[in-house]
Amino acid sequence: MEGKIRIGVCVMEKKVFSAPMVQILERLEAFGEFEIVKFGDKVILEHPVESWPICDCLIAFYSTGYPLEKAEAYAALRKPFLVNELKQQHLLHDRREVYERLKKFGVPVPRYALVDREVPNQRLDYFIEEEDFAEVHGNRFWKPFVEKPVDGDNHSIMIYYPSSAGGGMKELFRKVYTVGPEYAHAEARKSPVVDGVVMRNPDGKEVRYPVLLTPTEKQIAREVCIAFSQSVCGFDLLRCEGRSYVCDVNGWSFVKNSHKYYDDAACLLRKMFLEAKAPHISSTIPPILPWKSHEAVPPSEGLTRAGSGIIDTFGQSEELRCVIAVIRHGDRTPKQKVKLKVTEEKLLNLMLKYNGGRPRCETKLKSAVQLQDLLDATRALVPRHRPGRGSDSEAEDMEHAEKLRQVKAVLEEGGHFSGIYRKVQLKPLKWIKVAKINHEEEEERPVEALMVLKYGGVLTHAGRKQAEELGRYFRNNMYPGEGTGLLRLHSTYRHDLKIYSSDEGRVQMSAAAFAKGLLDLEGQLTPILVSLVSKDSSMLDGLENASVEMDEAKARLNEIITSGAKAGHCNGSSELPWMADGVGLPSSAYELLPRLVELTKKVTEQVKLLAKDEDEKLMDISGDDVNPSYDQAKALGKTTFDVDRIAAGLPCGSEGFLLMFARWRKLERDLYNERKERFDITQIPDVYDSCKYDLLHNAHLNLEGLDELFKVAQLLADGVIPNEYGINPKQKLKIGSKIARRLLGKILIDLRNTREEAISVAELKNNQDQDSKSNSSEWEDKDYHLKHPRKNEDGRRSSNTSDKSIDQEDDDEKETQYRLDPKYANVKTPDRHVRTRLYFTSESHIHSMMNVLRYCNLDELLEGEESLLSNNALQRLCRTKELDYMSYIVLRMFENIEVDLDDPNRFRIELTFSRGADRSPLEKSRCETPSLHQEHILPIMGPERLQEARSSLTLEKMERMLRPFAMPPEDFPPPTIPQGYFANGGDR
């Protein structure tokens, strides 16, 4: 048609016929002002530029096999209007050039360093690589870090993780697409390494969600566009610690599967072409776009309020605002400890090597290098042959050698090291003065030290599956939208998720496995752990604050059991059995102790016979050889069930018979002191632990009497374990409040922050002009919640000015920016924002928090208040003897949007708990999947209500009842970099 502007598409056919290009070119043609001329591969590759079609405007960009220099010659010859300049595209092939260009234009880039090698693996003077960091020209980069090739077209990006997985930081990548310097479209993307599974549509393409850019990020997009003279350009944006960085520039890129973007791109390209070649034609966008004149209006989509079996809303007016869960770790191996005094020079030198040569300082060995050094020393010290029995001193030597063999076996277990599973402490005990070499002065030198090896307590393959399955259950039942709701919230950054873990390896790995199930992730747990889980040892570890009270409780418990006396039932009654002292202790506890000792000896003798053959084989192996029995074992914490080991009659996991015997022999020795005729009731939980583990994982060994031992140990443990945290209700409350004080304080802060954010959103919505959509995203770019301080009834100002100093990652300030763009994402409720806080910990914190919830109303300050929990729930908890692996307590906060903002009923709390995998390994259910028992997995019990149905526990009452036992906000430390790899020393 005469007068049309000719647009040349001079790109490889693979790009011409890609879905985004087809969609945009069809829209340009629909305007009726352009003629599209596609050059084709044959013309581009084989014909001289003089014979290429003549056009007014040119779309040309590099892709694999594209002759960029030839396109430059054509542009110089015909001088068409270029959407993207050609010369600058050469810069995009070299990431060094890209970063230099970005810095020149003031665009923020991540901290980086360059390593140039002539050949792979070339040694460089300026490059140092250690276990947990790399150093370039003295600039240290702690793992995890990313390594990218210089070649911009090579996308083999490597992420290096540290030796031990202990925390980390979530990184949010955005893909940003510009169409001219004034337009930027951003999408949230998932990295298979960081995020796990990448959602795909029926065509196999990655599903992405549009997100909002901050004003700063929009300016960055403009600068990138100008810096490289590329009107259409894609680049990777990294949001980290409240700042944004450009970490890669890709050149010409189109958004996939976004009709809104296709519309915008076509309109903007039309505007460019008209202004360049036909300025007399108006570039105003018509009221109805040409390709939409016959288009049907699509039905609205979005999240629904369809609930799960445990959601109890008071109608459609309620919205879920917050989910807080305190969760115990999954199934683990028994925890073990070996203590021995060492005088060997090799071990004393090792202690000095790792404590900086200070003779009176103890040393902790955790890293692979340190443990390998210890193993080498131990192998050299373990005698090849056992001495015969003789004098007392010879007996002591034999016991010392036995312990060294146990240390060696533990260090060889699993075939590799991990400091989150094995830890060694060397503490000097005796010193002598020795003369310094070539000097007259003397110096101290240790001659004896105490070695303490802690091992075991490893999350089993069953524990991983339990944690992952519980995460999946939470995804499908704790959030609106029947499973897809949480993923939708998370993908569009309306899900504010933080996962905290104690320092223990089993707890960290449980948290990572849970996150894998919760977010439907794939792949190994280490990347998930590093990117999603933060350690907080001070909040989720340790019993030091309550050690005195717990010692008192254990002493009283020991007195009750060993004397045959019965616990006093003061305060208790048939109507209120949970108020009695010593609840759960069997009346026949004293009579059960001799039988417990007898059965423990019986099992130990059988394991000793099983270990004998293995022991003899070991004596025939040279000290330098690795134990072949342990070579066969899988790595610690393996993810799959080892059928071959079971079929071979070996113990499950990576434990050999020698270590299994050491475990049972220690229990036998510690449980009853024959010389003093004294029982140690603190060993009862350990006997029960070992029984349960072997019944579940080593049933194929057919240990006679193990079933009966388990039943006796369970009767005693059901009474001992809960009462170690307090004999009577008031003592339980005191101990619980000391152990869980920091955790309770953090939970109250989480709830208050959520309430303040919800109120701020509601106030802002009420003040907005309902007819104006142009301001719909304005609040997204502001720290809006900081602008609306409110006062609670007690007069405290609940502005997040103080709260921000509590949540170590500045929850409220930064994460409100990571939201989707509601105009594009077809989400019905763009203002729905759910906060999730998951706290993974051990048995002590679960018992402690539960005791505070049960008995908080007994405090003098709350006299006359009813319990937070219903009588029915208190009755069930009284009958609940064990909070087993994967037991949990969940607090969910709902907002009733039809109630006035100042009404206490606006926010209510729903409390539920689960006993975890509280099933006897002797019990088999008909409805249970056979594979569960075959794979050593006990199912997790479903959640139980802690309130009556339709009862309402307001947030206001919850705060009032728990505040006396929680750490106040002002006692929390000021905000820092999130704890994890980036908080462990050095300039990271």
pLDDT band for position 164 (cuts 50, 70, 90): low
Residue (of 825, 843, 856) closest to 187 by Cα position: 825
Instruction: Classify 312 as helix, strand or coil.
Output: coil
Residues 6+ apart with CB under 8 A from 738: 545, 546, 549, 848
pLDDT at 493 over 70: no
Following DSSP, what letter does each residue of 429-498 receive, concatenated?
EEEEEEEPTTSS-EEEEEEEEEEEEEEE-PBPHHHHHHHHHHHHHHHHHSSSSTTHHHHHHHHTT-EEEE
The HSE-up count of residue 304 (CA atoms within 13 Å, CB side) is 9
User: What does DSSP say about strands 172-179 and 5-9: parallel, antiparallel, or unpaired?
Assistant: unpaired
**What average pLDDT does the chain have?**
80
Residue 625 has pLDDT above 80, yes or no: no
Q: How far is CA 194 from CA 158, 159, 418, 515, 964, in A?
A: 11, 9, 22, 12, 40
Instruction: Decide the pairing of beta strands 888-896 and 335-342.
Output: unpaired
- The Cα–Cα gap between 203 and 150 comes to 32
What are the residues whose beta carbons fall under 8 Å from the beta carbon of 205, sequence distance 6 or more?
A: 256, 257
Question: Is the entire prediction scored with pTM above 0.85?
Answer: no
What's the rounded Cα separation, in Å, for the pair 222 and 572?
Answer: 72
More confident residue, 656 or 51: 51
Query: In one letter, which amino acid is 221?
Result: A
Residue among 686, 710, 714, 706 nearest 610 (CA) = 706
Q: Exposed e or buried b for every residue in 52-76, given b needs 16+ CB within 10 A?
A: bbebbbbbbbbeeebeeebbbebbe
Give me the helices (H) in 537-638, please. 537-540, 547-563, 589-619, 628-631
Q: Crossing angle of helices 657-671/684-697, nearest 10°?
A: 150
Q: Are 313 and 886 in contact (CB under 8 A)?
A: no
* Dist CA 841 CA 540 (whole Å): 6
Task: List, for residues 911-924, the tens digit of each pLDDT value.
Answer: 999 999 988 888 76
pLDDT in tens, 662-721: 999 999 999 999 888 899 999 999 999 999 999 999 999 999 999 999 999 999 999 999
- pLDDT score for 256: 77
Q: Is the distance from CB of 978 to CB of 872 less than 8 angstroms?
A: no
pLDDT at 844: 94
Rounded CA-CA distance 669/343 in Å is 25
Q: Contact, 224 vs 107, CB < 8 A?
A: yes
Predicted confidence at residue 824, as pLDDT, reads: 46
Nearest to 151 by CA among 73, 250, 243, 274: 250
d(CA 857, CA 58): 76
Residue type, 857: N
Is the separation of the CB atoms in 843 and 883 below 8 Å? yes
Maximal C-alpha separation, the chain: 114
Q: SS in 3 state form for 916-965? A: CCCCCCCCCCCCCCHHHHHCCCCCCCCCEECCCCCCCEEHHHHHHHHHHH
Report d(CA 557, CA 555) in Å as an integer.
Answer: 5
Residue with tokens 């059928």: 643
Model pLDDT, residue 483:
53
User: Average pLDDT in the 609-622 region?
Assistant: 67
Do 45 and 67 meet the contact criterion of CB atoms below 8 Å apart? yes
Residues 4, 53 contacting (CB under 8 angstroms): no
Please name the residues in contact with 188: beta carbons below 8 A apart, sequence gap of 6 or more.
172, 173, 174, 208, 209, 210, 211, 491, 492, 493, 820
Could you tell me if 593 and 562 are in contact, meaning their C-beta atoms sit under 8 angstroms apart?
yes
Identify the band that residue 317 occupies on the pLDDT scale cut at 50, 70 and 90: confident
Band of pLDDT at residue 163, cut at 50, 70 and 90: low
Residues 6 or more apart from 112 whose CB is under 8 A from it? Answer: 99
Domains and CATH numbers, the chain: 5-86 (3.40.50.11950), 89-251 (3.30.470.20), 316-334+457-571+737-767+777-798+807-848+956-988 (no CATH), 339-456 (no CATH), 583-726 (no CATH)
SS3 per residue for 75-125: HHHHCCEECECCHHHHHHHEHHHHHHHHHHCCCCCCCCCCCCCCCCCCCCC
Mean pLDDT of all residues in 630-648: 54
pLDDT category at 829 given cuts 50, 70, 90 is low
* Per-residue pLDDT tens over the stretch 851-889: 999 999 999 888 888 889 999 999 999 888 899 999 999
> Could you tell me the CA-to-CA distances from 688 to 584, 593, 668, 712 in Å, in that order?
16, 13, 12, 9
Cis peptide before 144 (omega within 30 of 0): yes
pLDDT band at 547 (very low <50, low <70, confident <90, very high): confident
What's the pLDDT tens digit per position in 510-546? 999 999 999 888 778 887 888 788 989 888 887 778 8
